[in-house]
Structure 1
Amino acid sequence: MAAPALVALAHGSRDPRSSATIKALVDEVRAMRPDLRVEAAFLELSKPSFTTVVDKLVKAGFDEIVVVPLLLTDAYHAKVDVPEAVADAQTRHPGLKVRATSILGLEPQFLEILDVRMREALKAARVRELDALVLAAAGSSDPLANQSVARLARVWSARHKLPVTAAFASSSPPATGEAVRAFRAEGRRNIAVASLFLAPGFLPDRAAELAVEAGAIAVSDPLGAHPELARTVLARYAVGAVELVPV
């Protein structure tokens, strides 16, 4: 009996760099578990769509699918879009079992990836010391989602013994530029911004642009296709696969 297929489900973007990064992350997952059928899919804006991928897997004979949402915060896409997509798949394919796992979330080990990306950005900018950091995320109308980013910022602050402020590219203040200017008003000049996004796209670009305009000396790349993210995808899959087993 074949193991359930794994669908890594991202939001999607019109920016081709975004889908390329997600597919590279899925390649990392495949490399770690070559025995599994692993597919990338998108809720909107990018291809292949979730519907297309599910139809392909059903045609290939899979009757169980574990969906791992590639989302960092538990906001609208996680609470509404993903459940609706799963329900639609089950309606279109009677007998198909689809289990959506917890989102990737903001695991403490992701700070290791932030550190790697930040060191790369500081090296490129020839910066050797910092006064403060800004943790830039997408932002949400859901305050709990934004609070999860703020909590990670506090953990990162303690890790480096530097002040860290969470900032958001949409929906909620402060924007990255505002966060940088607030630090500069305190007399801090060496301020860097970390991109807490999975992949490049409009929001990361906008956050970086506002940060540089406000005086940030470096902005890191998004998390990207890192092995730690791939391991987390597989950890979520393992839980989902167990939950598909009849009790």
Structure 2
Amino acid sequence: MTAPPGPTRPRLLLVAHGTRSATGRRVLGRILLETRKQLPGVDCRLAWVDVQEPGPEKVLSDGAPTVVVPAFLARGFHVVHDVGRACREAPGPVVQTPHLGPEPEVVRALVQRLAEAGAVGAFGADAVVLGAAGSSDASSLAETRALADRLADLLRTPVTAAFASAASPKVDEAVSLLRGEGHRRIAVATHLLAPGFFADRMAAAGADITSEPLGAHPEIVDLIIRRYRENSDPLTH
């Protein structure tokens, strides 16, 4: 006797900003690939809110039940308006999860990227700049500054939040300020998912050490999967 089919699992749609950097696109594709490996049987896709296609509204237009995970490290215009609008206007059942945010997985990934760059330990950095993309959204900036405080507690090192655009201080300004205060080995913790224009700005900010973007770090993939699993039940049928 053939067993009845199990419940159908909803699709996972990762929505990222988009980048003109070929390397950045490959890194985001790697995040999608690693996510697929851990969610066999789930249709995992990637959409973009800027620069590239398809947009989330195009993917969602088929009406398939979908869990949408905004692949953004901070809340801002794209998460609230672009992703939010696409989810609200989708013809089928959709759940939009929280963005990646200052979750424990992100904190652990940031610390490990700093360690990989040589910024942690007895001969590591004596000050850190948490370099984020930046936003005009006050809650997004507050989220980044709170994350900087958490990193400072973990690293037992001063950590200053700074931004590549749309907010102050800029990353290079923060590095210069720390130099003026007498810090001799300054690291930039790159609070970005992928290489591109903002990551290039951070690398050129004058720090002694600059960590790599978080990319397909296992902790980031684990967080995406957790977001999916915590929000997929209402769509399973």
TM-score (norm 2): 0.90
Shift of 1:25: 0.6
Q: Structure 1 vs Structure 2: percent identity of aligned residues?
A: 37
Indicate whether 1:103 and 2:103 are aligned: no
The aligned residue for residue 2 of structure 1 is 8
- 2:44 paired residue among 38, 43, 51: 38
Residues 86-127 of structure 1: CA distance to partner in whole angstroms, max 9, x if unpaired?
Answer: 23432xxxxx2122111111212322211221122228xxx9
Residues 52-102 of structure 1: CA distance to partner in whole angstroms, max 9, x if unpaired?
Answer: 4335xx3xxx73111111011111111101112223432xxxxx2122111
**Contact 1:108 1:152 survives alignment (8 Å):** no
Equivalent pairs counted in the alignment come to: 229
Residue 74 of structure 2: SS of its match in structure 1?
Answer: coil
Which one has a larger percent helix, Structure 1 or Structure 2? 1
Q: Cα gap change, 1:52/1:142 in structure 2, threshold over 3 Å: closer, same or farther?
A: closer
CA RMSD of aligned residues (A): 1.9
Alignment of 1:1-247 (within 5 A): 1-55=7-61, 58=62, 63-90=64-91, 96-122=92-118, 128-209=123-204, 211-212=205-206, 216-244=207-235
Residues 120-148 of structure 1: CA distance to partner in whole angstroms, max 9, x if unpaired?
Answer: 2228xxx9332111100011111111111
Q: Which amino acid aligns with 1:112?
A: R
Shift of 1:226: 1.2
**Contact 1:134 1:191 survives alignment (8 Å):** yes
Q: Which amino acid aligns with 2:52?
A: S
TM-score (norm 1): 0.86
Residue 229 of structure 2: SS of its match in structure 1?
Answer: helix
**Contact 1:176 1:208 survives alignment (8 Å):** no
Runs of 4+ aligned residues of structure 1 deviating over 4 Å after TM superposition are none
Shift of 1:229: 1.1
Residues 155-184 of structure 1: CA distance to partner in whole angstroms, max 9, x if unpaired?
Answer: 111111111100000111101111111111
Residue 194 of structure 2: SS of its match in structure 1?
Answer: coil
Mapped to 2, the partners of 1:155 and 1:100 lie a distance apart of 26
Q: Which amino acid aligns with 2:231?
A: G
**Contact 2:105 2:220 survives alignment (8 Å):** no
Q: Which amino acid aligns with 1:146?
A: L
Residue 99 of structure 1: SS of its match in structure 2?
Answer: strand
Q: Cα gap change, 1:52/1:63 in structure 2, threshold over 3 Å: closer, same or farther?
A: closer
Structure 1: runs of 5+ lacking an equivalent: 91-95
Shift of 1:245: 5.8
Shift of 1:243: 3.3
Residues 26-65 of structure 1: CA distance to partner in whole angstroms, max 9, x if unpaired?
Answer: 111111111211111112212443244335xx3xxx7311
Shift of 1:239: 2.6
Residue 69 of structure 2: SS of its match in structure 1?
Answer: strand
Mapped to 1, the partners of 2:130 and 2:79 lie a distance apart of 21
Residue 104 of structure 1: SS of its match in structure 2?
Answer: coil
Q: Which amino acid aligns with 1:118?
A: L
